Each structure stands twice: as structure tokens, then as C-alpha cells.
Structure 1
Amino acid sequence: MSTSTPVTGRAARAVTGGCLVALTVLILAAGTVLAWMVYAFHRADTGNESRREEARTVLAEKARHAAALTVRDLTAAPDADREAAEDIVLRTARDPGLGQGTVAPKVTYDKALDGLTAVGLFSGSYEVRPALWGARRPESVTRCYALAFRHDSGTWQAKVTTRPDRVCAQREAVTNGAQAAREALRAIDRTTVTRDQVRRLLDPVRTATYEVTTVTGQGRTVTVTTLVRAAGDEQCYRFVRHTDSQDQDSVTVAAVAVAHCAG
């Protein structure tokens, strides 16, 4: 026989009803928070992807600008031979913000079309924003481009196309070799240095092999021309060592036509 009274029954039902209401409120609150988090992550991902695409658009504009500058310089040198034209392409058909001169495009000559093609990496960055908390951070973005220059009917024309990233990645070994040589040549402390002495400075560098072509001293600078070989690739570089300085910029670098390293 039940011993509960009508008052006790009503109280129990009230407690049960209150618990159900509280549980419903908690479920609704959790659902709202979850939905907001899903929206926040979706919005962050969408925003980051949009900024990444904008950065890639900037890279394309940078490549087209480099091509336009190269056409301008080639046009301004109508008497330039193949070597001089290659020097111009190496100097301007590239991303000027990369490698302090050590990152050089791979330049090939097409005799049939009387043209040069420079394949190189262009780099930029965009801001990655977190969905909920944390600091914003920059993220790099790169793209490989081929800048083709053709001499047709007395005028230079350019065409810019993308290449797979692996094509530009093949250039990394030579770039690393040039950067290592740049550091090693900071040890030059006088302008009377010889080719043998420069070779001995470069011999311990294991990232590439070096064929030193010329070493000349003038004033307070020493100019070293050397062919850098690594991973089946090669590039001729001109290093200028400023002997009155020991900072990071005391050796400047420029990629030049391979004919300069022919001796």
C-alpha cells in the first residue's frame, strides 16, 4: 500500500519536470555552442583559403611583372648576344625577394625559336587566422613559373605559364650550394687571394662541387666566378666579397650566364 500523499506526489512531479526543463536547456545550450564552433571553424577555413588564393594571385602578378621587366631590358639591349641576353634573363626573370641572389631560375636556350626560357620559384605569404583563439601567423605560398622569351620580327615577347612544383624543386640543390659558398667566401680577408686559396675555402663544403674560374681583386673587393654543380644541375655565379665588412651582406651574389664560367 502506497504511503505517499497528494502533496508529495505533486512535489515529485515538479522536481521531475524541473529536471527535464534543465536538461532541455543544457542540450539546447550545448547544441548552440557546438553549432557556433562548427560555424567558426568553417568561417576560419573559408577565410584562410580565400587569403591563400589571393596570395597565389599576387604570385601570378609578380611573375608577369618580372616577365614585363625582362622584355623591357631585352628590348633596351638590341645588340645583346646570347650570353648578354641570358644575363638579363637571370637578373630580372625571377622573384627578387628570394635568396639574396642565390636563388636563380633555370635558363635554357631554344635555338629553333631563338628564345630563352627561365623556370623559377616565386614566393609570397598570407595570414592564417585561428578559428577560436591563438595568434595569427604568416604562412608561405610558392608557385613554379616558366617565363618564356621569344625574339620574333625584331621584338621580344613573353609568355608566362605554371609548372609543377617538382620542376622548381630540382633547383634547390644548386641554390643550397650557392648559399654555402656565400658563407664560405666570407673568410676572404684580403684582395690578393688566389684561385687555389679560394678552392681550399670551398673544398670543405659538401653540399656541391665548385669549379672556380676567375678570382680578381680590386680596391676592397674580391670577385669570384665559379660554377656550382649539385644533383645533376649547375649554375654559374659571381660572388663579390667586400673585405672591409664582416656582416651577412659582405658577400653579394649574382647568377650569370654559364659562358662566364667557361674560363
Structure 2
Amino acid sequence: MKFIFGLLTFVTVGLVIGSVSQLALLRKLEDSHDILLWKNDKEAETLRLKYIKPEVLSWSPRIILLHNFLSMEECDYLKAIGSPHLKRSKVVNETTGKYYKSNGRTSSGMFLKWKDRKHPMVQAIEKRISIYAQVPSENGEAIQILRYEKNQYYKAHPDYFLDTFNLKNGGQRIATMLMYIGDNVEGGETYFPWGGSSECNCGGKIVKGISVKPMKGNAVLFWSMGLNGQIDPNSRHGACEVLSGTKWSAVKWMRERPYTFHHLI
């Protein structure tokens, strides 16, 4: 019991420290948005310090909109390498941990392979995700490319796991970086139904919560675990129905511990 209490205390303190560090990072990035001193700085170029503008949407659940997180070239590259390999998306059974096709998720997707991750552009994106999420790169799952066509959607769901099977490799999912890599789409918002009491638009309907319109190059960073080290039910989210056009996105999930790549979906 003492060991478990000590472990929980360690996780909680780590999350608090990480949150404070992240807030300081966000403020620094906001202050540096218009500074032109980054011109010959390769590290700053990788992190897109001159372009990315963080916008805090909510602290409970923790949701941050990162304007211009990806360049147009990066968006087009991710879309190009994902397009030929798309398959019907699956969801996880909360009891068994197994994956299956569901009418609640109608998109198509694919995970980047090891050869894809060796490309300098992908490596830059993954490093950027690690820095902004304040989670080591080795704790991240492979980036998944997703396509939602007209009338497709993903019902509200958590990114954290409730089964024990999926916790064996890397532990719990603690943060998600959802990047928009396409444009000319109506609907398809990322929707957080428990993200406050205000109203928002979701697939042409006015509903309670917070929604983010998919805009090419932008990204949404949110956390599935709270500062107490416990899963956050308010982090449930969904993809609203696409009204017209095609929605393209790329998502990366970050774990508690180093993750070994062997996706089954």
C-alpha cells in the first residue's frame, strides 16, 4: 500500500511540474510569436517558433489550440503518404481491449510505418509534438492519418483505456495531438461535449461544449489525464459529421512510458 501511494504521489507531482513547465513554455512561445531572430536557428525552425500561436481553450479539460502547428508542405506530405493505405477505422472494446469495426466510427485511417518515420519532415513533426506536449518522443504511438468523407463522423469517446490489455505497452494515454492536414471542409469539428457550458457548432447543430473547426495546419492538444494522475472523463471528444468536402487529420497519442510500435488497426 505504501508503494502504491508513493507511486501515485510521484505521478501526481510529475504531472503538476509538467503542467507548470508547459504553461511557462506556452507563454514564452506567445511572447516570441512576432520575433524575427529565429531566422537562422535550426531548432527554432523545427519548432516553428515564429509561426505557431497557442490558444488555451480550456483548463478543465486541458485543451490548447495551436495555430499554424504544421506547414502546408508538412500537411500535404502526411496526406500523400497516408492516402494509398487507408482502411476502415476501428475502435477498442473497453472490456477485452480488442479492436473491431463500429458504426460509431466511420472514418478510414492508417498508421505511419518505421520507414515513414525516418523522413526528416516526419521526424521534425514528432519532435515538435514532444516539445509542445512535454512528453518524451519515445512515449508516442505512431502517427495515424485519418480521412472523414461526407456524412462520416466519430461519436464521443475517450482516448484513455479502461481495459488492462492496452496498458501493458507504454501505460495509459495521457495526451493527444490532433493535427488538421486538409482544407475545404464543412462540419467535421472536433467536439468536447463536457468542455464547459457554452454553446458551439457541431456538424451544423448548436450543442453545449467546445468545438474546434478543422483548419489546415492547426492542431489541438488535449490531455486524457488530470493533474491528480487520474483519467479525466471530461476529455471525451468526438468528430462531428462532415457536411461537405473531405476532412483530413493526423493524430498522435502520447503514453506514460516508452511505447513499442505494433499497431493492430
Tell me if both proteins adopt one fold, taking TM over 0.5 as the criterion: no
More helix by share: 1
Normalised TM-score (structure 1): 0.26
Which structure has the larger Rg? 1
